[in-house]
């Protein structure tokens, strides 16, 4: 037990979660969570009917790629300017590449819509993102997040095409 002097703590799925509302994602309630210190990755579940949750409600997992680390910051559910319901996730700490990277994922499928690399590495990682709707039209325009090197990043997601989304 915990009082054993030889006790070694093991982390499990201890990362933060975000849950969409049916207003954000009509007909669905998505839960996006991270593995936190328990592993590198994020996952998506359909939780509209939790009383009847089944294997088919496990939608996706994103745990591969050199930029994915231990995600410790809360994901942010957003409507993107390309019309897609998305989730913004920082790459966290301890990624293989050691860079600070922002992921924009499709909330229903987990597909990477954009992977925006700040190009600042050296044992770096991105912290919890915060989204801002600058023009008040219900879609995210900017995302802000800090990194382990003390930088505050602004990501510009105003364009209708993900290829136009960049570090501002």
Q: What is the pLDDT of residue 5?
A: 86
Q: What is the pLDDT of residue 7?
A: 85
Structure tokens at 65: 């790629």
Q: What is the pLDDT of residue 57?
A: 97
Q: What percent of the chain has pLDDT over 70?
A: 99
Torsion on CA atoms 58, 56, 79, 14, rounded to nearest 10: -20
Please enumerate in sequence order all residues whose Cβ is within 8 A of that of 25, keeping only pairs 6 or more positions apart, or say none.
77, 85, 107, 108
Q: Residues in the chain with pLDDT < 70? A: 1-2
Tokens 């590198």 belong to: 40
Spatial contact of 58 and 45, defined as CB atoms under 8 Å apart: yes
Q: Within 13 Å of residue 83, how many CA atoms lie on the same side as its CB?
A: 0
Q: What is the pLDDT of residue 66?
A: 97
Q: What is the pLDDT of residue 1?
A: 64
């Amino acid at each position: 037990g915990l009082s054993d002097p030889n006790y070694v703590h093991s982390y499990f799925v201890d990362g933060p979660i975000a849950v969409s509302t049916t207003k954000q994602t009509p007909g669905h309630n998505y839960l996006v969570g991270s593995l936190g210190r328990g592993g590198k990755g994020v996952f998506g579940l359909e939780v509209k009917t939790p009383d009847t949750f089944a294997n088919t409600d496990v939608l996706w997992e994103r745990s591969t790629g050199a930029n994915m680390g231990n995600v410790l910051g809360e994901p942010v559910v957003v409507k993107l300017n390309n019309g897609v319901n998305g989730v913004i996730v920082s790459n966290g700490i301890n990624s293989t590449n050691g860079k600070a990277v922002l992921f924009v994922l499709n909330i229903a499928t987990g597909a990477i819509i954009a992977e925006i690399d700040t190009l600042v590495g050296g044992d770096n990682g991105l912290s919890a993102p915060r989204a801002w709707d600058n023009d008040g039209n219900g879609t995210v325009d900017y995302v802000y997040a800090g990194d382990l090197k003390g930088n505050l990043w602004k990501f510009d997601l105003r364009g209708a095409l993900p290829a136009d989304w960049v570090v501002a």
